[in-house]
Amino acid sequence: MRANLLLIVLLAALCLKVDAYPTYRAKIPNGYNVPNPCNLSTIWPGVGHKNVYGSGERNLFGLDFAANNHVWDQTLCEKDSDGDGRKNGQELGDPNCTWTAGRTPMFTTNLSHPGVCEPVDSPLCAVSNSWMMNCIPRKLDCPAKDAPGVRDYALRFPVTPIPAKETTYICYIFALPNDSISDIIAIEPVIDNKLILHHMMLFASNDEPKDHRPGESFECGMESTAGCSSSIGIWGVGIAGQCLNSQLGFRIGPGEFRYAILQLHWNNPENKTNQTDSSGMRIYLTDQLRPNRGKVAIMGQISLEIPPGKPEVTFTGRCSALCTLKMFQSIFLTSGILHMHTLGKSGEIRLIRSGGKVEIIYNVTQYDYGTPALYEFGTPIELKPGDAIEVKCVYDSTHRTSTTYYGEATSDEMCFAFLAYYPLIDDLGFCGQLKIVDLCPKKYKYEPVGICEIGTLRDLLQLHP
C-alpha cells in the first residue's frame, strides 16, 4: 500500500514538472511569444529559466516570479528583473501593468526578454549575461588561419534592403580569386543585421552560373542556387565559424571552384520595414595545399508531415547503403551539423555499418533552432561503401494547430545533416530520402543529384505519393 502511494506521489510530481512551465507561461503577458535575444526570429519557451526550454536554473526573472508566488501583478510588472533599464511590463507588452490572464496584452510585438539583459553583448549586460555563452559572439579558434602566408578574402553582400515579409532567401554571386590554386582552410561569419539574419550558406561552382552574373543578387531558395553548385560552408547563430580539418581544403582557382554563391536567410516575422543587411563570410586561403579536396554533403528527409498537438514526432532520412555502394569507395567525415526549424526538439546523425552496427556520431538532446551546434570530429570518420547515414529529427508540435510540412519558411520544417568530407566527389551533393524512396546520385535520369536539384526531387512526390 505504501509502495502504491509512493508511486502515485512520484507520478504526480512528474506530471507537475511536465506541466509547470506551460502553466506559468499562461500567467504572464505574451508568455508564449517571448523572443529569444540570441535570435529574435525564435522564441524562448522556458521564460523563467536560463535553459531556453525551461529546465534547470532560473534566470533573474524566474527568481522574481517565484518570489512573487508565481503571480503577475503590479509589483512584478514594475520590476526590472534583468537590469537592462526596462520594466518587466514594458518588455512583455503590458507597460501599464493592467493585464490579467486570458486577456490580450496591450502590445504583442516589439517584445523583449525580462530575464535577459539586452543588448546581450553590451558592456551593461556583460556580467549578468555571463551564462549565455552560445548567445554572446565568439571568435573562431583556428590557429591555421593565423599561419604565415594565409590570406583572407571577404565575401559580403552590398547594403541590401530586407523585404517586409517573414521569409527571404537571397543569393549573391562572387568571382573567387583565380590567379593560382589555393585551399580554403577556414570560414568565419561577418554579421551586420543580427536581428533578422538567421543563417548563411556558401556554395561554390566550377562554372559561371547560367542565369545570373557575379555582382548580382537575387531571391533564391534554400535548395536552389544559381546553377549546380557545391555546399562548402554554413553558419547559424552561436557558430563562430569553421576551421577545416588539417586533411581537408576547399580548393579554388584554375580548374577548381571559381565562383561562390552566398545565400542569406532573413527571418522577419514582424514584417519590419527600412531594414538592410550586408552580412557575409570571410574565407581564409593558403597556397600550401591540403592533402585532400572536399566539400559538404547534405543528407536527410525531404518529405515531412508533422501533425499538430504532438509532444514528440520523429522522422528519419537515410543516405542508404544502396547509395553509398553506387557513389564511392570511402569518404571521411570531418564535421557535422543538424538542421531543423522551430519545432525541432532533438536529433541524431547515425552511422550504420554494413554489418548492422550503429554508431551515433552526432547527438543533440535539446535542439535549439536559434543556436545550432557544429560538431568537429577530432578523428575523421570513415564512411565505407555499404554503410549508411541516417538523420533522425524529433519535433514538438504541441502548440501548432495545423499540420506542418517540409518547406523553406521558418514556420515550415526541415530535416537535414550537413557533413564536411573528403576526398571530393563531384556528384555527391544531396543523398537522402523522399518518404521511403532513396534519392542518391546516378539513380535517376536527371543525374547527378546535387544541391541544385533538390527542388526537382521534391517533384517526385507526384510520382511517389
C-alpha 55/C-alpha 68 separation (Å) is 19
C-alpha 35/C-alpha 295 separation (Å) is 35
- Give the range with max mean pLDDT: 269-273, 313-317, 453-457: 313-317
Spell out the residues 6+ positions from residue 90 whose beta carbon is closer than 8 angstroms to its own: none
C-alpha 11/C-alpha 15 separation (Å) is 6
What mean pLDDT comes out for the span 146-173?
93
Residue predicted with more confidence, 17 or 70: 70
User: At residue 430, what are phi and psi to the nearest 5 degrees?
Assistant: -115, 135
CB neighbour class for 192 (10 Å; exposed up to 12, middle 13-18, buried from 19): middle
Grid cell at residue 280: 557575409
Handedness of CA 392, 205, 372, 333 (dihedral sign): positive
C-alpha 52/C-alpha 134 separation (Å) is 11
Decide: 293 and 422 in contact? Cβ < 8 Å: yes
Q: Give, as one character, the DSSP assignment of residue 126.
A: T
CB neighbour class for 280 (10 Å; exposed up to 12, middle 13-18, buried from 19): buried
**pLDDT confidence of 134, banded at 50, 70, 90?**
low
Among 3-7, 175-179, 357-361, the range scoring the smallest mean pLDDT is 3-7
Which pLDDT score, from 0 to 100, does residue 34 have?
Answer: 93
User: At residue 62, what are phi and psi to the nearest 5 degrees?
Assistant: -60, -40
Decide: 44 and 113 in contact? Cβ < 8 Å: yes
Residue predicted with more confidence, 291 or 411: 291
Which pLDDT score, from 0 to 100, does residue 53 have?
Answer: 66
Grid cell at residue 311: 509532444
Which pLDDT score, from 0 to 100, does residue 223 have?
Answer: 52
Decide: 34 and 111 in contact? Cβ < 8 Å: yes
C-alpha 317/C-alpha 320 separation (Å) is 9
Q: Among 219, 236, 259, which residue's Cα sits nearest to residue 418?
A: 236
The yes-or-no verdict on residue 158 having pLDDT over 90 is: yes
Which pLDDT score, from 0 to 100, does residue 370 have?
Answer: 66
The secondary structure element, H or E, covering residue 198 is strand 197-205
Among 171-185, 243-257, 434-448, the range scoring the smallest mean pLDDT is 434-448
Across the strands, what pairs with 299? 417, 431
Express each pLDDT in 190-226 by its tens digit: 999 877 888 899 999 888 877 788 998 898 865 544 4
**Percentage, residues of the chain above pLDDT 70:** 85
- Give the range with max mean pLDDT: 148-157, 319-328, 448-457: 148-157
**Total residue length of the chain:** 465
Collapsing DSSP states into helix, strand and coil, what is residue 55? Answer: coil
Among 23-27, 178-182, 240-244, 297-301, the range scoring the smallest mean pLDDT is 23-27
Cα-trace Rg, the chain: 24
Which pLDDT score, from 0 to 100, does residue 56 have?
Answer: 67
**pLDDT confidence of 408, banded at 50, 70, 90?**
confident
Q: Among 59, 47, 40, 42, which residue's Cα sits nearest to residue 23?
A: 47
The yes-or-no verdict on residue 432 having pLDDT over 50 is: yes
Residue predicted with more confidence, 129 or 29: 29
The yes-or-no verdict on residue 166 having pLDDT over 90 is: no
The yes-or-no verdict on residue 10 having pLDDT over 50 is: no
- Helix%, strand%, coil% for the chain, nearest 5: 15, 35, 50
Which pLDDT score, from 0 to 100, does residue 49 have?
Answer: 87
The secondary structure element, H or E, covering residue 17 is helix 2-25
Decide: 405 and 301 in contact? Cβ < 8 Å: no
Q: Give, as one character, the DSSP assignment of residue 97.
A: S
What mean pLDDT comes out for the span 371-376?
81
- Give the range with max mean pLDDT: 203-207, 284-288, 449-453: 284-288
**Percentage, residues of the chain above pLDDT 90:** 53
Residue predicted with more confidence, 66 or 342: 66
Tell how many helices (H) and how many strands (E) occur in the chain: 6, 27
In the predicted model, what is the mean pLDDT of the chain?
Answer: 84
Q: What is the pTM of this model?
A: 0.73
For residue 415, how many other CB atoms are within 10 A of its CB? 28
Domains of the chain: 23-125 (no CATH), 137-292 (2.60.120.310), 294-465 (2.60.120.230)
